[in-house]
């Protein structure tokens, strides 16, 4: 077993690694390493090489899982113990809203869970997770070249029975290797998709992201926020930790996440639609970001004494893209190397889970002799159709123009409840009953259930966007952005909770529809100002 990735001195890398492999994987982070781990566990005799460019993993924007990616990490990869020991449990999603600048944190409207979730999810330190899974691959006998980069690749021609040829630069030398399969897990580098001319930016979704890490962020459940008297806290007491949620501070056109990490740091990042939102003026993107979060309601309270990690600041100008093809006979693209939509709802690691599991299954069956010829071609064609359809339907159903509603607590709550309950009923539940469901990406199938779900998601989200525009026009956008609370139970699997959440979201949607109709055909009962003031009284809306 080659230990080139683990050597304290890369120049001491051994020369014992073979030049012919069954699979070469470009990229050793979670997507590439998990592909190798699954293939080695299913087919231990395979020879696999991982080529990882960085000598140490950096921090990434994907620092939280949701239930599908947690299922993949815990059941498919068996990482439950590692996740519990080295990362933090996640207590769902939580949203905060304000109706004016300078609003104190405890005065903001709040949407989220009121109890600890039934199913596991985690707040991740990605550099730790990536290294751990790469170490697992090495322990299973996967050869690793690190730091190294692929300089060139000549993909196989199936009609001629050839193999893939790769030129790899390691320690200043060039090594040529061959393989039956090449898997691109290079992340946003998207090595194969760019090389093959398959990568497309989603210009319809004009989102950017900027983020950093801070120490000293206040605990939302601590005395500094809740007050010193537990008999009269500033916020309602919950049966879960607000701090352990992925917290979203929302405005029209943007949201800012707060994600706690196991080392005491907090990841803070803002995602925004460039058509609707601009960071404040400043000499640099870093300065503009810091100015924004230090002026934002609630955030300025929590970050009052926080210190920025000066060496940890990141910016992506454009987030959304996808490849037009995921696989051919001899190569596959997985994870962020294939597609990324948006960090909202943390779908990135879900996409890693689906694309890695599905691709590894096909590669394993082909190398085991179970899938050849026309059957292999048919499976690959179906794989490509389903993943391409999944991206297009998922984007249109959940993310198109989503940022227009994010500044309105009521509309955002309706969207959150409807979207999340549909996710649990149609995606999480089936996968927990049968892990082979990970072979079929979300909304990628053509059966009536997937078509109906896509239609329903698209319909109500499109209506919520139109309601947001109507509220802006009539002056009631964000009317419940002060002191209103929509606190619900866990969604769960095999319970009635997703159904209850769905109907709670449906009720909020219909109430919003009725309110807009009433204002359109009747004189409003008071102006927009009075409506906003009325929403300031604390209310508990149990989802």
Our CA angle for 320, 134, 350, nearest 5°, is 35
Separation of alpha carbons 501 and 205, rounded Å: 28
Q: Averaged over 370-398, what is the pLDDT?
A: 97
List all residues 6 or more positions away from 463 whose beta carbon is below 8 Å from its beta carbon: 509, 513
Residue 291 in tokens:
């100015």
**Average pLDDT score over residue span 124-142:** 97
pLDDT reading at 537 higher than 70? no
Say yes or no: 328 and 235 in one domain.
no
Mean pLDDT across 468-473? 97
Give the 3-state DSSP-derived string for 313-350, with helices as H, strands as E and coil as C.
EEEECCCCEEECCCEECCEEECHHHCEECCCCCCCHHH
Q: Do 362 and 480 belong to one domain?
A: no
Query: Does the structure show a pLDDT above 70 at 10?
Result: no
User: How large is the average pLDDT for residues 417-442?
Assistant: 96
- Does residue 20 have a pLDDT over 80? yes
Closest of 363, 417, 348, 402 to residue 183, by C-alpha? 363
At which of 387, 419, 439 does a domain end? Answer: 387
Domain boundary among 271, 293, 316: 316
CA dihedral 165, 167, 170, 174 (to 10 degrees): 120
CATH number for the domain that contains residue 157: 3.50.50.60
Query: Is 425 among the domain residues?
Result: yes
Specify if 1 maps to a domain.
Answer: no
CATH of the domain at 254: 3.30.9.100
Q: Please say whether the beta carbons of 112 and 248 come within 8 A.
A: no
Same domain, 250 and 169: no
Within this chain, do residues 415 and 505 fall inside the same structural domain, yes or no? yes
Greater model confidence, 210 or 526: 210
**63 or 377, which is more confident:** 377
Contact 100, 74 (CB under 8 A): no
Q: Is the peptide bond preceding residue 473 cis, with omega within 30 degrees of 0?
A: no
List, in sequence order, every beta strand (DSSP E) within 109-158.
109-113, 122-123, 143-145, 148-154
Predicted pLDDT at 11: 35
Quick one: pLDDT at residue 102?
A: 85
Q: Which two tokens stand for residue 386?
A: 């389903």
pLDDT at residue 251 tops 70: yes
Each residue of 204-248: pLDDT tens digit? 999 999 999 999 999 999 999 999 999 999 999 999 999 999 999
Identify the band that residue 312 occupies on the pLDDT scale cut at 50, 70 and 90.
confident
- The Cα–Cα gap between 254 and 236 comes to 26
Q: From residue 427, how far is each of 121, 140, 212, 315, 449 by CA, in Å? A: 15, 31, 32, 31, 11
> Residue 354: CA atoms inside 13 Å, Cβ hemisphere, count?
27
Environment class of 195 (CB within 10 Å of its CB; exposed 0-12, middle 13-18, buried 19+): middle
Average pLDDT over all residues of the chain: 91
**Pairing label, strands 93-97, 109-113:** antiparallel
Judgement on whether residues 253 and 117 belong to the same structural domain of the protein: yes
Range of the domain at 261: 88-123+206-316
Asked whether residue 235 falls in the same domain as residue 327, the answer is: no
Question: Is 33 among the domain residues?
Answer: yes
Determine the 3-state secondary structure of 71 from DSSP: helix
Same domain? 229 vs 354: no
CA distance 463 to 414: 11
Does some domain include residue 65? no
pLDDT at position 18: 64
User: Are the beta carbons of 330 and 181 closer than 8 angstroms?
Assistant: yes
Same-domain pairing of 46 and 115: no
| pLDDT tens digit sequence for 177-197 | 999 999 999 999 999 999 999
Map tokens 């227009």 to a residue: 404
Give residue 467's pLDDT.
98
Asked if the structure places residue 80 within a domain, the reply is no
**pLDDT at residue 310, as a whole number:** 85
For the chain, the domain total comes to 3
Q: How many CA atoms lie within 13 A of 90 on its CB side?
A: 26
Integer Cα distance of 451 and 460 in angstroms? 15
d(CA 353, CA 133): 14
**Per-residue pLDDT reduced to its tens digit, 71-83:** 999 999 999 999 9
Among the candidates 260, 282, 316, a domain finishes at 316
pLDDT at 373 exceeding the cut of 90: yes
Mean pLDDT of 410-437: 96
- DSSP character at residue 224: H
- Indicate the helix (H) or strand (E) that contains 246: strand 246-251
Q: How does residue 529 score in pLDDT terms, banded at 50, 70 and 90?
A: very low
Q: In the chain, what percentage of residues exceed pLDDT 90?
A: 87
- pLDDT at residue 444 in the model: 95
Q: Same domain, yes or no, for 169 and 118?
A: no
Q: Does 527 score more than 90 pLDDT?
A: no
Residue 84 phi, psi dihedral angles, 5° rounding: -70, -35
Q: Which residues pair with 314 in a beta bridge?
A: 211
> Is 75 domain-assigned?
no
139 in a domain, yes or no?
yes
Q: Do the domain assignments include residue 78?
A: no
Query: What's the pLDDT band for 14 if we cut at 50, 70, 90?
Result: very low
| pLDDT attached to residue 402 | 98
What would the mean pLDDT of 159-175 be, rounded to a whole number? 91
Query: Are 54 and 26 a contacting pair, CB within 8 Å?
Result: no
* Closest-CA residue to 403 (of 215, 255, 298): 255
What pLDDT, on a 0 to 100 scale, did the predictor assign at position 246? 97
Whether the pLDDT of residue 4 is over 60: the answer is no
Residues 214 and 119 in one domain: yes
Domain check: are 231 and 293 in the same one? yes
Is residue 230 located within the same domain as residue 276?
Answer: yes
């Amino acid at each position: 077993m080659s230990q080139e990735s683990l050597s304290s001195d890369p120049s001491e890398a051994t020369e014992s690694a073979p030049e012919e492999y069954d699979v070469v994987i470009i990229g050793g982070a979670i997507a590439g390493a998990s592909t190798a781990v699954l293939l080695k566990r299913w087919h231990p005799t395979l020879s696999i090489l991982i080529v990882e460019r960085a000598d140490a993993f950096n921090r990434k924007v994907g620092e939280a899982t949701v239930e599908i990616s947690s299922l993949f990490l815990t059941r498919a990869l068996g990482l439950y113990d590692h996740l519990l020991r080295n990362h933090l449990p996640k207590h769902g999603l939580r949203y905060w809203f304000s109706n004016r600048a300078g609003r104190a944190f405890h005065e903001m409207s709040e949407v989220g869970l009121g109890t600890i979730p039934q199913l596991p999810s985690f707040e991740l330190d990605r550099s730790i997770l990536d290294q751990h899974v790469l170490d697992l691959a090495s322990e299973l006998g996967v050869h690793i070249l690190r730091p190294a980069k692929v300089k060139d690749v000549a993909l196989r021609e199936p009609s001629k029975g050839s193999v893939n040829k790769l030129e790899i630069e390691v320690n200043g030398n060039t090594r040529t290797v061959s393989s039956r399969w090449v898997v691109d897990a290079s992340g946003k580098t998207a090595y194969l998709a760019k090389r093959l001319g398959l990568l497309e930016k989603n210009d319809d979704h004009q989102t950017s992201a900027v983020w950093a890490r801070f120490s000293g962020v206040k605990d939302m459940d601590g005395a500094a926020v809740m007050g010193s008297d537990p008999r009269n806290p500033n916020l309602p007491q919950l049966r879960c930790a607000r701090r352990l949620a992925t917290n979203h501070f929302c405005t029209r056109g943007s949201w800012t996440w707060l994600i706690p990490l196991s080392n005491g740091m907090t990841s803070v990042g803002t995602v925004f639609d460039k058509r609707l939102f601009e960071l404040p003026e400043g000499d640099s993107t870093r300065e503009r970001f810091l100015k924004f979060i230090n002026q934002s309601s609630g955030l300025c309270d929590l970050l009052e004494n926080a210190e920025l990690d000066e060496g940890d600041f990141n910016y992506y100008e454009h987030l959304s893209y996808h490849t037009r093809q995921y696989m051919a006979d001899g190569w596959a693209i997985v994870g962020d190397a294939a597609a990324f939509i948006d960090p909202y709802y943390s779908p990135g690691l879900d996409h890693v889970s689906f694309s890695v599991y599905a691709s590894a299954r096909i590669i394993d069956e082909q190398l085991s002799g179970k899938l050849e010829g026309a059957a292999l071609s048919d499976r690959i064609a179906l794989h490509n159709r389903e993943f391409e359809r999944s991206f297009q339907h998922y984007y249109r159903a959940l993310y198109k123009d989503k940022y227009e509603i994010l500044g309105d607590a009521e509309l955002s709550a309706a969207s959150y409840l409807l979207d999340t309950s549909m996710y649990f009923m149609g995606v999480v539940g089936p996968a927990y009953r049968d892990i082979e469901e990970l072979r079929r990406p979300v909304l990628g199938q053509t059966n009536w259930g997937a078509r109906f779900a896509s239609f329903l998601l698209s319909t109500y989200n499109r209506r919520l966007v139109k309601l947001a525009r109507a509220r802006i026009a009539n002056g009631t956008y964000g009317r419940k952005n002060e002191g209103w609370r929509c606190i619900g139970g866990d969604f769960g699997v095999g319970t009635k909770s997703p159904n209850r959440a769905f109907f709670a979201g449906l009720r909020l949607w219909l109430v919003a529809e009725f309110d807009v109709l009433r204002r359109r055909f009747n004189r409003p009962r008071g102006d927009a100002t009075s409506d906003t003031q009325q929403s300031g009284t604390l209310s508990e809306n149990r989802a």
